[in-house]
Amino acid sequence: MDWVNKHLQIVPINTFIDPIFPVENAIITHAHADHAKPGHKNVLATKHTIKIMKIRYGENCANNFQELSFNSPLNINGVKVTFFPAGHILGSAQVLLEYQKDKINFTGDFKITKDDTCENFRPVTCDTLVTEATFGLPIFQHPDPEVEINKLINSLKNFSNRPHLIGVYALGKAQRLIKLLRNKGYDETIFIHGALEKICDYYVQSGINLGNLSKALIKGEKKDFNGKIILAPPSALKSTWSRRFIDPILSHASGWMSVKQRAKQSLVELPLLISDHADWNELTSNINNSLAKNILVTHGREEALVHWCKKRGLKASALSIQGRDDSGEEI
């Protein structure tokens, strides 16, 4: 497998996957900030990824964009590139590379659990699997998101005099949480922080109905937010912005919330275990289903996953990728 190196560079075509520094040719798996950086010369990605990159970084954040649809192979100087849905956020792709007789699949960030706000994950078989490991420990077993949504809806009933301020990542998590609530029949206005607006609009334009959304501005009285849901990026929960809400219940929708002590540290009272990443069971079942004999782990808690693979006779090692360290929050 010497044609792809540990910087995730595809050597024969001098192309990098999700490079964190500006390069000549980049394949971008999805539009989250630690995978999609501005300043590349040529970008190959799905339609949604390109659109969202342009919304976030501006129309000219790369010199050339080339769209590639799912399941339609593209031949670049002998390397066949195919995108498959990764089920992580809108537009997120796995990248299958075929060169000579070798098949390598890059999962990018992925989840297998069904999600009505993006193209759902498709299993891919390959010789070498390059997998993420954000939740690569057996303690991470995400519950059914419906259970978590019920928790939220119950809390709204029990604490109808307190605003429910939920930390969500602006791209993907926010829209998924809204959609899950709508699917449960919650049809009240959901308030959003300004940082969520553009991406929500884009999801709606793309045909994902999110119901009635409103910016969380103070027009009437502060207590108008009581018993209501307000979504904001996690960083805003502790900022001055959040002072407009009286005695809010702080919540955070994230896979990290499974560890109570972590939730407590971040002052979260209502942890919602909703993740856009594969949990331990999905990570391991995907390794099995891929039929790959060689496993490379890109980022997250690599050690445990590598150990798990080796115990099953698979070749496995960790790629430590700069810019995605283990202290970071889920994105």
Partner 1 sequence: MKEFSQLINQLILTRSRNRKIELLNHYFKNTENPDRGLALAILTGNLKIKNISISKIKELIKKEFDPELFDLSYDYVGDLAETIALIWPYKQKGKVPKLNFIIDELESSSTTNITKLIKKYLSIFSENERWAFIKLLSGGLRIGVSTRLTKLSLIHNTTIEISEIEQIWHGVVPPYNKLFNWIFGKGAKPEIEVEKVFHPLMLAHPIEKKDFNNLKPEEFLAEWKWDGIRVQLVLFKSKIRIFSRTGDDISHTFPEIQNNENDLVVLDGELLVGNDFTPLKFNKLQQRLNRKKVSKVHLENFPAFVKLYDILFLKNRDLRNLGFSKRREILLDWHDKVQNKFFDLSEVVKFKTWAELTNIKSKKLNKSEHEGLMIKRKNSAYISGRPKGHWYKWKNEPLVVDAIMMYAQRGHGKRSSYYSDFTFGLWDQNNIVPICKAYFGFSNEELEILDKFVRGNTINKFGPVREVEKKFVVEIAFDSVDFSKRHKSGVALRFPRIKRLRRDKPINEVINIDLFKENFIAS
Binding stretches for partner 1 (CB under 8 A): 137-141, 258-265, 267-271, 301, 303-304, 307-308, 311, 325-327
Residue closer to partner 1, measured from CB, 31 or 309: 309
Q: Contact at 8 Å (CB) between 172 and 309? A: no
Of 196, 176, 178, the residue nearest 187 (C-alpha):
178
Least CB distance to partner 1 at residue 173 (A): 20
Residue closer to partner 1, measured from CB, 171 or 253: 253
Q: Contact at 8 Å (CB) between 60 and 39? A: no
Residue closer to partner 1, measured from CB, 28 or 272: 272
Residue closer to partner 1, measured from CB, 100 or 265: 265
Least CB distance to partner 1 at residue 247 (A): 9
Residue closer to partner 1, measured from CB, 124 or 152: 152
- The tokens 């991406």 sit on which residue? 199
Least CB distance to partner 1 at residue 181 (A): 21
How far is residue 281's CA from residue 257's CA, in Å, rounded to a whole number?
17
Least CB distance to partner 1 at residue 135 (A): 11
Least CB distance to partner 1 at residue 190 (A): 23
- 260 CB burial (10 A radius; 0-12, 13-18, 19+): exposed
Q: Contact at 8 Å (CB) between 29 and 95? A: yes
Which H or E run contains 151? helix 145-158
Residue closer to partner 1, measured from CB, 101 or 311: 311
Beta strands in 114-242 (DSSP E): 128-133, 164-167, 190-192, 213-215, 229-232
Least CB distance to partner 1 at residue 264 (A): 6
